[in-house]
Amino acid sequence: MVFKEILLLASNNRFPMRSLKILFFILFGIIAVALIAAAFAPDNITIATQTTINAKPEKVFKNVVSLKNWKHWSPFEHDSTMVDTFSGPDSGVGATRQWKGNVIGEGKMTVVEAKEFTMIQNRLDFGAKGGATGTWRFSPIDTAQTNVIWSTHITGLKYPLERLMGLVLEPMMRPMFEDGLADLKEYTETGKVTQKKPIEQNVKKHE
């Protein structure tokens, strides 16, 4: 529609042809730069953050390996329309959670590997939107502290749009992961659940 209006203005001599050519060259340059950037952008990204929690690894591990516990601390839980369905065991390998919400959309998370008190790996499935692998690592610092690393690895980003989005996704999402670890820390150490804003406001806060 914009190009049609510009051409109409040019045909009526209300938009100088020289300016029209400059405009097209600028637009072509922007598109070319974006396509070149996408060509060099990786087809995968990793979002990772870590924290220290004043608790033993087994206590922290329990709050992550049981998918029902995510309600207490995950930064993606505050869509008031979200409906959860749990299947498989309560925790550990095979535990599965499916969700659907107007803001968060649809998805499924399954625990695919769990090494007691040291590592958890989840498979995330977003249907046609793709998937990701989430990994947790728990390392004791001393008898009462645990270093926790939470990472999510997304692969198969398609050229060009998904690869361009990948360039901004990591810095956009990492603060939300940091919020999640902060709440996991508070919940593990105190048992308290922080009342948070709806997820749509939480997302806007980090844009």
29, amino acid identity: G
- Which pTM was predicted? 0.78
Which top CATH class is 43-205? Answer: alpha beta
Rounded Cα gap, residues 110 and 100, in angstroms: 15
Confidence band for 79, pLDDT divided at 50, 70 and 90 = confident
Q: Please tell me which residue, 195 or 22, carries the higher pLDDT value.
A: 22
Q: How many CB atoms lie within 10 A of CB 152?
A: 19
Q: Degrees (nearest 5) of the Cα angle 29, 35, 37?
A: 100
> pLDDT value at position 45?
87
Residues contacting residue 143 through CB under 8 Å, at least 6 positions apart: 56
Domain boundaries, the chain: 1-40, 43-205
Average pLDDT over residues 131-137: 96
Residues 87-106 have pLDDT tens digits of 999 999 999 999 999 988 99
